[in-house]
């Protein structure tokens, strides 16, 4: 059966699965940025199809803790709720929650740290992982809502640089990224080490990975 990587146009997780001989397809409103099996369309139109597993990356713009201030007029809580932003947050939560009912025995829904209002709607996403747990020199706390899967285990844990150093600033490039037309898309990309861990630990499983390592 096929794994569906939903709300992904980068091809990062899809290609990690394919590289290990796992049948996979990405689904997104945008065309894929890398050649490979891809369905351009609304991912929600495909959650009823039977899949081996679903990895979903729903838009986090109104759910992430970093954007919580935008729920209030002028970005200040004392100004009261911005109704339009609040409704957008609720829409984002409904979109996130829809993937919980995908027709698959294994489901992972990825998002950054959510603010308290989002957690009340989508639940908690613990434990969080960092790219540097998997060999990528970067900071980006990422959580998953899981069904039928165990939390990802670190595979190549690096030692993060000390705050205030030039290296720490380099590792913080996601948070320091300047505004631009593709900023949101670039910030949402899955790091190679995380994508590899998803493929190895969730799609292949520990037994097959051990067999592959023993054969090398």
* pLDDT digit string, tens, across residues 8-29: 999 999 999 999 999 999 999 9
Bridge partners for 5 per DSSP: 26, 55
Mean pLDDT of the chain: 88
The pLDDT assigned to 210 comes to 44
Between 90 and 189, name the one with better pLDDT.
Answer: 90
- The pLDDT-based confidence of 146 (bands split at 50, 70, 90) is very high
- Residue 207 dihedral angles phi and psi, to the nearest 5°: -65, -45
Tokens of 91: 């829409």
Least Cα distance to 146 among 181, 208, 102 occurs for 102
Write the pLDDT tens digit of every residue in 83-97: 888 788 899 999 999
- The pLDDT-based confidence of 138 (bands split at 50, 70, 90) is very high
């Amino acid at each position: 059966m096929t794994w569906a990587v939903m709300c992904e146009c980068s091809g990062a997780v899809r290609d990690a699965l394919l590289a290990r001989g796992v049948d996979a397809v990405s689904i997104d409103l945008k065309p894929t940025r890398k050649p490979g099996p891809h369905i351009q369309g609304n991912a929600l139109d495909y959650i009823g199809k039977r899949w081996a597993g679903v990895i979903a990356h729903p838009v986090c713009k109104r759910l992430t803790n970093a954007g919580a201030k935008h729920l209030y007029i002028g970005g200040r809580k004392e100004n009261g709720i911005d109704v339009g932003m609040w409704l957008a947050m609720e829409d984002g939560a409904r979109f996130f929650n829809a993937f919980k009912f995908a027709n698959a025995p294994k489901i992972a829904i990825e998002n950054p740290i959510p603010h308290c209002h989002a957690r009340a709607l989508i639940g908690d996403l613990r434990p969080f992982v960092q790219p540097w747990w998997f060999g990528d020199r970067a900071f980006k706390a990422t959580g998953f809502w899981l069904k039928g899967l165990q939390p990802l285990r670190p595979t190549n844990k690096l030692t993060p640089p000390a705050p205030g150093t030039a290296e720490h600033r380099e590792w913080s490039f996601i948070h320091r990224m300047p505004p631009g037309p593709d900023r949101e898309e670039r910030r949402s990309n899955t790091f190679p080490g995380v994508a590899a861990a998803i493929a190895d630990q969730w799609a292949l499983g520990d037994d097959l990975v051990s067999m592959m390592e023993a054969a090398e």
